[in-house]
Amino acid sequence: MYFKQINTEGLGCYSYVIGCPGSGEMLVVDPKRDVQEYLDISREEGMKITKVINTHVHADHVAGEQELKSHTGAELYIHENAGVKYNHTPLKEGDSIVMGNAKLDFISTPGHTPNSLSILLTDLARGNDPWMILTGDLLFVGDIGRPDLPGNEILDEQVENLYDSLYNKLGKLPDYLEVFPAHGQGSLCGKGMSAKSSTTLGFERKFNPMLQFKSFEDFKAEVLKSFPARPKSFSHIIETNLNGAPLLERCPLDRAMNPEKFKQKMDSGAVVIDVRDAAGFGGFHIPGSINIGLEKQLANWVGMVIEPKSDLLLVVNSREDYDRMLLELHRIGYDQIHGYLMGGISSWVLSGYAVESLDQKSVQQVKEAKDSGRDFSIIDVRTPAEWNSGHIEGAIHVPLTELLDNGVDIDKEKPVVVMCGSGYRSNIAGSHLANTGHKEVCSLAGGAMAWSRSGFPLV
């Protein structure tokens, strides 16, 4: 039996390629939208992709079953009650798929969604007992799937399902089973995932805090304490996956635009994402643009900041950066990407169009201004856990997700210094505040990390 885990960095997504060299067949579980890696494996290993399975309707990334079907003609599978609108073969608990020596047995494990499946995987060449289980978004390494995404109206039912799937359905399975989840560290489908990519049921039963409760009531109380932020993109992604994502070649053509054409698109309502680093954006940027730099988890931040069906324009340093951004955006269903600024920000400046700056203040400059009694606000956009670990005295805590949704209740004429952990999120927040009318906004270069390393106190 052939088995391979595929990691989609940034989104924290895992997909799986399973096959039998003897029969020449292969299938893919929970594929990402850009499918070339699966096609390369198929060619290199000499196995044809004949089936594609989604363990559930994903909320955090656009699935690749339509792309794979268009390339290979593969048959598509998903839970019988998933509600998808594309042609598929329905699956239910007790169903099996056999490809040569690879056998997949399906278990209904609702909780993350009402219609989720886990997959027991057996190598028949080695025996009749399963070796591993693909748990989808039910059980992660060190955490469990969040139950809130389908909506508050069924949240209580979802929590009950989650408990039953984890404690009863999986509870009947042996400790030795290897666990391969659909997500790892970086995903927003859970809140405490390990960086490890796999585990065993026995290890999770011993060390996963969400599997230690003696009663359902205690489990429920902990589950409902808090949920990770829900990006704007999730509802759009769910809708896209229910309908079946459009093929990528049907999305608007990418193209380089001269400054005049770029400005025309902006004036028509397109949103500009500037993917340069904090210093580059801080020096000069196009008025109204949002800075979301090319960091590992940029797709999650795009999903927090930008409406999913927006027409998008990009400011990049190179064509390579544009291609990477295009890939990241397609993975979360942001398909209305109309092009990038040819020649970068320099071409915009040389064309004589207006520019703005987002000052990057050093920790020394901010400390001196604070000590001298200057009247300004420090807005700390880190998470509650980061804030509680230490913050600048007198700072105002407004987590970034809350600031993006509700703004901040301060005088827009008053100077603002925005800070985060390292300076990445503060530029997102700073560009947002400037675009919503705050007159004097700057970002703390290096954030809390630079502040503490400079020897300045945190309280």
CB 260 within 8 A of CB 348: no
Tell me the two tokens of residue 362.
């050093």
Architecture of domain 359-453: 3-Layer(aba) Sandwich (3.40)
What CATH number has the domain spanning 251-350?
3.40.250.10
Residues spanned by CATH 3.60.15.10 within the chain? 2-233
Distance, in Å, from the CA atom of 223 to the CA atom of 215, rounded to the nearest integer, reads: 13
CB 210 within 8 A of CB 219: yes
Regions of the chain short of the pLDDT cut 70: 250-254
For residue 243, what pLDDT is reported?
96
Distance, in Å, from the CA atom of 424 to the CA atom of 295, rounded to the nearest integer, reads: 9
Please state the length of the chain: 459
For residue 250, what pLDDT is reported?
63
User: Which of 333, 337, 358, 434 is closest to 67 using CA atoms?
Assistant: 333
| Dihedral sign computed on CA atoms, order 124, 127, 130, 134 | negative
For residue 248, what pLDDT is reported?
86
Residues spanned by CATH 3.40.250.10 within the chain? 251-350, 359-453
CB 13 within 8 A of CB 4: no
For residue 254, what pLDDT is reported?
55
For residue 227, what pLDDT is reported?
85
For residue 76, what pLDDT is reported?
98
Quick one: fold of 2-233?
Answer: Metallo-beta-lactamase; Chain A (3.60.15)
For residues 410, 412, 417, 419, the Cα torsion angle rounded to the nearest 10 degrees is 60
